[in-house]
Amino acid sequence: MNNLLPLPILLPMLGAALNLILSHRPRAQRVVSIVSLLGVVIVAGTLMWQSYHRGVQTLWVGAWPRGMGIALVADGVSSLMLTVAALVTLGVLIYSTGQDAEEVRRATPVSIFHPTFLLLCAGVSNAFLAGDLFNLFVGFEILLFASYVLLTMGGTGSRIRAGSIYVVVNLLSSNLFLVGIANIYAATGTVNLAQLSQRLPLLPDNVQAGLQFLLLIVFSLKAAVFPLQAWLPDSYPTAPAPVTAVFAGLLTKVGVYAIMRTQTVLFPGRPLTDLLLWVALATMIVGILGAIAQSEIKRLLSFTLVSHIGYMIFGVALATISGMAAAIFYTVHHITIQATLFLVAGLIRRVGGSTSLERIQGLAKVSPLLGALFLVPAMNLAGIPPFSGFIGKLGLLTAGAETGTPLAWAVVAGSVVTSLLTLYAVAKVWNRGFWGEPQIVEVEDDDEPDEHEGKLLPPVMVGAAIGLICLSLAFTVFAGPLYAYCTLAAEHMFGPQYVQAVLNGVPTP
Amino acid sequence: MIPNLTLAIVAGVLIACGVYLITERSLSRILVGVAVMSNGINLLFLVAAGPAGMPAIIGMFPADQMSDPLPQAMVLTAIVITMAVSAFVITMAYRSFQLNGHDEVSDDVEDARIRALAERDDVSASFEEIRFSDTGDDVVSE
């Protein structure tokens, strides 16, 4: 029993409702949004502390008899993801407030942005805390609906084009998810994850395999895993920078989290190691080769996002505690770093007037600060020591080597190659966009570069980007304790703790 | 539990038709496809609920005669979500029609551009060939 559990869902929803009422008072909206997200950060941090010290936290909502109603569960993984997601969304929200103030709400109806953004957070929290499959579906639908609105905000031609693809793909995956839930309910009579964990192994083997593949396909589509990744680089880059940042940081990771959760809790005895290793290898290589071909920063980053999902799938595929721990650490690192890079891409657009590498040049001379803001997360993404990207990759490679099958070694080699190619891709952005003589923006007042810079880069936006970079550096500095936490969380994923905590006091039929 | 074969077949046919329509280009056909497919899935939940029974209201009927209320609650949620999805897709189709004169899902422009470059065996304007010469000076051609 822990009554804190619904708060990460309720606080943003309450904030969204207040924001709709306050839609004509942008300053009040910003205060409400920031306060409600700060609340989520505090609650999520508390949940993380509680789940670490007191074990898995559960709540049966609505005072139904235990085992009948909806269960909310926060264990090591979900509370960690919740905390990082809340911190990143808070950073992105602060960044977006700087943008509103600067652009005086021209093309996009900002009054809609804040409520929708908060609903997205509520959906993400709900997906992380869901203790049953149907509630997970509802969480996905909340966040997807918010994302449809955010992606097509303003209704310009390119956003409608990108939005159509995104909406149709996600509709299909949601419907497949419902088919999966209906089949699982027909076979077992429950949708609660902990109860399913006990009842699914009793089913015939082929029925289990069918259900497992169905769930894997659904979540792979949401996580943009090869061969279901083609929609992502098409739809993400056209949205405004804060929207793309939060999409890239969070939405695919919710899919990865769902894969982790369902594959370990529901099908503990039958890991799809070989299949997932192949898929991970293909995702990495296809994604990064796509990234190299791009000449537009946001598209390039979207392709690296696809490629690095492969690393997380690699960790999940190994189905060992060390592999899962590395995957969790890598997911946490990647949520932060990918969101930061998209925010910086937004800043590049402000300074250079474009995010196409064919139009920008010499940005490091125009704004050395921007250069530093790009370089640190970019090197972190490529996995240069001592950043957290390197630590996560090292963990994955070690786990792969421990497993030691030829296929695992092949994926280890593939991830090293992908890491080098990522370095090549970000170095291409650096060489082309940041080096050389400035092209687009003429620096006129050389005497007062600071003032010029301040005008180009609003301090709030830069502050938010620096804050997120500091968060990723904190993962590097506190990598020891964080990695220990991830290892414990991974142990609990394979152990009986989750099921025991949820089913504590539930009468067995 | 003995599943209802008629319901299962109808659900299968509806979902298959829905998937076929979703593969179309036009958003209005996709909308019809989504509606058909969602209804098929709702029927699938009815199959999962088992044989029909009395309303699940405590105190009115004995528990063993009641039908399973949980799938009905799920179907209700799914219907609400489908309604919202339909509204959103109609809006998007209409906006697409306003902007382009049709409501078709079009190909990615940037992707087509890169593919055209590849077919011409050409390089993009952002390509730089870097050679490392013996003298130690890096030669950069643009």
Spell out the domains of chain B, with CATH numbers in brackets.
Answer: 5-52+67-119 (1.10.287.3510)
Picking from A178, A293, A296, the nearest residue to B78 by CB comes out as A178
Q: How far apart are CA B107 and CA B98, in angstroms?
A: 18
Instruction: Tell me whether 0.95 is exceeded by the ipTM.
Output: no
Confidence check: pLDDT of B35 > 80 = yes
Tokens of A33: 């949004």
Residues of B with Cβ-Cβ distance to A182 under 8 angstroms: 41, 44-45, 47-48, 71, 74
Q: How far apart are CA A97 and CA A72, in angstroms?
A: 32
DSSP A292-336: HH--BHHHHHHHHHHHHHHHHHHHHHH-SHHHHHHHHHHHHHHHH
Question: Could you read off the pLDDT of A50-68 as tens digits, one per residue?
Answer: 888 888 888 888 777 777 7
- Judge whether A241 and A351 are in contact, CB under 8 Å: no
**Which secondary structure element, helix H or strand E, spans residue A252, and what is its range?**
helix A252-261
- Judge whether A95 and A373 are in contact, CB under 8 Å: no
Beta bridge partners of A70: A61
Confidence check: pLDDT of A504 > 90 = no
Q: How far apart are CA A487 and CA A472, in angstroms?
A: 19
Question: Could you read off the pLDDT of A10-39 as tens digits, one per residue?
Answer: 999 999 999 888 877 778 888 888 999 999
Mean pLDDT lowest for which of A96-100, A263-267, B61-65, B90-94?
A: A96-100
Confidence check: pLDDT of B130 > 60 = no
Backbone φ and ψ of A71, nearest 5°: -105, 135
Average pLDDT taken over every residue of chain B = 82
Picking from B18, B19, B84, the nearest residue to A145 by CB comes out as B84
Q: What angle do CA A339, A19, A148 make, to 5 degrees?
A: 50
Residue B117: pLDDT band (50, 70, 90) is confident
Confidence check: pLDDT of A444 > 50 = no
Residues of A with Cβ-Cβ distance to B34 under 8 angstroms: 171, 175
Residue A128: pLDDT band (50, 70, 90) is very high
The rounded Cα A251 to chain-centroid distance in angstroms is 5
Residue whose tokens read 């940081």? A249
Average pLDDT taken over every residue of chain A = 85
Position A70 scores a pLDDT of 86
Residue B135: pLDDT band (50, 70, 90) is low
Give yes or no for A145 touching B (CB within 8 A): yes
Confidence check: pLDDT of A451 > 80 = no
Give yes or no for A168 touching B (CB within 8 A): yes
- Average pLDDT, integer, range A350-366: 77
Q: How far lies B132's CA from each of A6, A426, B140, in Å?
A: 60, 20, 9
Smallest CA-to-CA distance from A306 within A457, A422, A466 is with A422
Position A508 scores a pLDDT of 67
- Judge whether B73 and A64 are in contact, CB under 8 Å: no
- Average pLDDT, integer, range A484-498: 87
CA dihedral over A277, A279, A284, A286, signed as positive or negative: positive
**pTM of the predicted model as reported, rounded to 2 decimal places:** 0.89
